Amino acid sequence: MREASPNLTFVPACLPPDPVEVEELQRFVSNSKRLFVMTGAGISTESGIPDYRSEGVGLYARTDRRPVQHAEFIRSASARQRYWARNFVGWPQFSSHQPNKAHLVLRDWEKLGKLHWLVTQNVDALHTKAGSQRMTELHGCTHRVFCLACGDRILRSELQEHFEALNPTWKAEALDVAPDGDVFLTDEQVCNFQVPACRKCGGILKPDVTFFGDTVSQEKVRFVHHRLAESDSMLVAGSSMQVYSGYRFALAAREKKLPIAVLNIGPTRLDHFASLKLNSRCGELLPLILSGLKLFLQGLISERGKLQEAAVRSSAEGTRRGQQASHRSNHTKAIAEIMPKAQQSLHIHHVFICSSRSLDRGAGKHSQILGVCSKFGYSSFC
């Protein structure tokens, strides 16, 4: 997985993060034990994918194009032909986009046990590419396609091969790709494009996304509400929350009196009731939060490996230094106990510290771990 270099073409102008904002968000995240995160198109703009509504740089501000409507796609063969022709042209560029620092940070928060559940309104698969697992794609994902008749599923990359086989001489150029992979083509370009049917039943193929005018399934809505009920705070990143399918969860969080933080360039529907509002780039501000704990744990893992190597060397010196080797072995076992439990704690919000009398610097290391755990909102036990 490659990390995208910051691409600011579709990012609205904003000031660098204010140190006060960094501290406020640090405190917000540190105080959370089960953070519920919702992301929108604004988190992917730094990967080179435009959003719809940002002033000056969003798709609506730059063009008069609008995304396909669900009812139009279902009832009109010409609408499906137009959609798939445009999607076919835009797919190589759209599918090549990579996660940026914001996506990777949220993946790391999940590993650290801070992020309880992630809900994305995006259909670009960048959270999946980043490695997030505790996640719901609220509006689906363009990387999957299914048959409306029999439900058979196929990867979008595989469908691209079928398109190419059916349209060997058809060509068009992608000038500007929308958040859903759509591009602009003229009617003359579209009219000769051939669309494949379902390989099993000959039915209509549709991307596994919720088009505008459609609704998210009640099963998925209930599932997300359950994950929200298990959470103790909510962070919205890169979304103005104009679409009700996502906004409803912010309303539910407010009803539960959960603290809500919003990180978005420009106004949102939550500004009047959010506990914290920050106007910064997601990929610039989020990496500054909780990074210290991640670096500390990485250092501890490295130290564990060095201690294990030292124990192996000392045990080879023979029986003359057997007692010393035994002490070192105990030292190694103690550290070996720290990391699995610490890594396990990344999912239960505690860091367990094991100490040994044979550790000359045990008290210092103990204090250091306690200090870091306390700073980042983790409890610890000896």
- C-alpha 17/C-alpha 2 separation (Å) is 25
The answer to whether the annotation marks 55 as part of a ligand binding site is yes
The answer to whether the annotation marks 379 as part of a ligand binding site is no
Neighbouring residues of 141: CB distance < 8 A, sequence distance ≥ 6: 123, 124, 125, 128, 208, 209
The answer to whether the annotation marks 56 as part of a ligand binding site is yes
The answer to whether the annotation marks 47 as part of a ligand binding site is yes
The answer to whether the annotation marks 239 as part of a ligand binding site is yes
Catalytic residue, chosen from 97, 116, 139, 331, is 139
The answer to whether the annotation marks 282 as part of a ligand binding site is yes
Q: Which residue from 121, 100, 89 is spatially nearest to 48, judged by alpha carbons?
A: 100
- C-alpha 314/C-alpha 42 separation (Å) is 54
The answer to whether the annotation marks 53 as part of a ligand binding site is yes
- C-alpha 79/C-alpha 49 separation (Å) is 24
The answer to whether the annotation marks 369 as part of a ligand binding site is no
Q: Which residue from 89, 28, 32 is spatially nearest to 262, judged by alpha carbons?
A: 28
The answer to whether the annotation marks 191 as part of a ligand binding site is no
139 counts as catalytic: yes
- Residue 23, Cβ neighbours under 10 Å: how many? 12
Beta-strand ranges (E) seen in the chain are: 35-39, 115-120, 135-137, 140-147, 153-155, 205-209, 233-237, 260-263, 276-278, 350-352, 379-381
The answer to whether the annotation marks 14 as part of a ligand binding site is no
The answer to whether the annotation marks 292 as part of a ligand binding site is no
The answer to whether the annotation marks 378 as part of a ligand binding site is no
Task: Tell me if residue 116 falls in helix, strand or coil.
Answer: strand
The answer to whether the annotation marks 59 as part of a ligand binding site is yes
The answer to whether the annotation marks 122 as part of a ligand binding site is yes
The answer to whether the annotation marks 209 as part of a ligand binding site is no
The answer to whether the annotation marks 19 as part of a ligand binding site is no
- C-alpha 330/C-alpha 250 separation (Å) is 50
The answer to whether the annotation marks 42 as part of a ligand binding site is yes
**Contact at 8 Å (CB) between 94 and 177?**
yes
The answer to whether the annotation marks 264 as part of a ligand binding site is yes
- Tokens of residue 344, six digits: 């396990």
**Contact at 8 Å (CB) between 353 and 337?**
no
Q: Which are the catalytic amino acids?
A: 139
List the binding residues for NAD(+).
40-60, 121-124, 238-240, 264-266, 282
List the binding residues for Zn(2+).
147, 150, 198, 201
List the binding residues.
40-60, 121-124, 147, 150, 198, 201, 238-240, 264-266, 282
